[in-house]
Each structure stands twice: as structure tokens, then as C-alpha cells.
């Protein structure tokens, strides 16, 4: 059996980030689906021919849960301390990634639900409002995409950090530099050096 490699408390933050991504995104998806679904049901009593056309907010709200599922799977598969060293930096990165994706999905779900509820009711009385409703829903959905963009940036930063540690280990005369011996100031200086060298 392979020994545990890294910080023993780091996986807690990583799994917490995976749970946050899924839970908050599903909360946003549930609220958006329920809120806009009530509007569709109320509108469908008087205008049943517009039900399928007005189902767009429900679909867009459901997509938010898929965002959270994808990020949760990505984070959880990256946590395997017995196969790969997992340190506090990795745990914090995964926690912030999960919170960014989950809370962005929650806010997007609330916006989609409120707009979808009012939009489908208004569309039943004035069909010309349909395009405007779709545009508003698209911008509301974009809020969740901002969270995914931040997640991709954090994962890219995490890979930079892992590469820098490998370089430090290779250049060390003792060849035994551990992450526990590197303080936050040294990590910040190292990342800034990498960023400056990458721009040259």
C-alpha cells in the first residue's frame, strides 16, 4: 500500500470544494426550475400552445446543475494523496474552485428563475417580448460561466505551482525540499517570478 503523501488535512478542503460546487449549483438549478416552472404552469392554463416555447428557462436552469457536477467530478478525481502528493495549496485551490462554481451557479439560478417566471407570463400576453426574455436569460446564464472561467484559471495556477515545486526539487542540493518548508511569502514570490518569466 502506497504511503499518504502530502498534508493530511488538505483533502478535507478539496472534498469540501467538490461538495460546494455540486450543492450550490443544484440549489440554483432547483430554484430556477421551480420558479420558472410555476410561471409556465400558470401561463399554460390560458395559453397551452405556448408551453413548449416557454420551457426555455427550465432548460437553462437545469444546465447549472451540470456545471456543478462536472466541476465536482474534476475536483474529486484530482484528490488521490496515495498516488500523487496533495498539499494545502491544492486543497485551497479546489475549495475556491468549488465555491466559485457553486455560488456563481446559485446566483445564475436565482436570476433565471425570477426572469423566467415573469417572462413567460408576459410572453403569453405580448409575444414580442420573447426575444427580450431570451436575451435576459442568456446574460443570467453567463454568470455561471464566469465561475467556470475562474475554475479553469485556478486549475492552471495549480499546475504552475506543481511544476515549480518539481523544479525546486531538481535544483536543490539535498533534493528533499518539501512544501511544508515553504512559507506563503516564498510561494507568492515564486508564482510572481513564473508569471514575469512567462510574459517575456
Helix extents (H) in 47-183:
56-77, 88-125, 130-171
The CA distance from 100 to 90, in Å, is 15
Q: What angle do CA 118, 111, 53 make, to 5 degrees?
A: 50
pLDDT tens-place string over residues 144-182: 999 998 888 887 776 666 655 555 555 544 444 444 444
> What is the longest distance spanned by two Cα atoms in the chain?
79
What pTM does this model have?
Answer: 0.76
Q: 32 and 116 in contact (C-beta within 8 Å)?
A: yes
Indicate whether 90 pLDDT > 70.
yes
Indicate whether 32 pLDDT > 90.
yes
Bridge partners of 6?
86
* Phi and psi at residue 86, to the nearest 5°: -130, 115
* Sign, Cα dihedral of 39, 40, 45, 50: positive
The CA distance from 135 to 133, in Å, is 5
Confidence of residue 48 (pLDDT cuts 50, 70, 90): confident
For the chain, the straight-line distance linking the first and the last C-alpha, in angstroms and rounded, comes to 44
Amino acid at each position: 500500500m502506497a504511503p499518504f503523501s502530502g498534508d493530511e488535512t488538505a483533502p478535507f478542503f478539496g472534498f469540501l470544494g467538490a461538495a460546494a460546487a455540486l450543492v450550490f449549483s443544484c440549489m440554483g438549478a432547483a430554484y430556477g426550475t421551480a420558479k420558472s416552472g410555476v410561471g409556465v404552469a400558470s401561463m399554460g392554463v390560458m395559453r397551452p400552445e405556448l408551453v413548449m416555447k416557454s420551457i426555455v428557462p427550465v432548460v437553462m436552469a437545469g444546465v447549472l446543475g451540470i456545471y456543478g457536477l462536472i466541476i465536482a467530478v474534476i475536483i474529486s478525481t484530482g484528490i488521490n494523496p496515495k498516488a500523487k502528493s496533495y498539499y494545502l495549496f491544492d486543497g485551497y485551490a479546489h475549495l475556491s474552485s468549488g465555491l466559485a462554481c457553486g455560488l456563481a451557479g446559485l446566483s445564475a439560478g436565482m436570476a433565471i428563475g425570477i426572469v423566467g417566471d415573469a417572462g413567460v407570463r408576459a410572453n403569453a400576453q405580448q409575444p414580442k417580448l420573447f426575444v427580450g426574455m431570451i436575451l435576459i436569460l442568456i446574460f443570467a446564464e453567463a454568470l455561471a460561466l464566469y465561475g467556470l472561467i475562474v475554475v479553469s484559471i485556478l486549475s492552471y495556477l495549480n499546475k504552475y505551482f506543481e511544476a515549480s515545486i518539481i523544479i525546486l526539487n531538481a535544483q536543490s542540493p539535498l533534493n528533499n525540499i518539501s512544501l511544508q518548508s515553504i512559507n506563503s511569502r516564498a510561494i507568492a514570490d515564486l508564482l510572481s517570478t513564473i508569471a514575469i518569466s512567462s510574459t517575456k
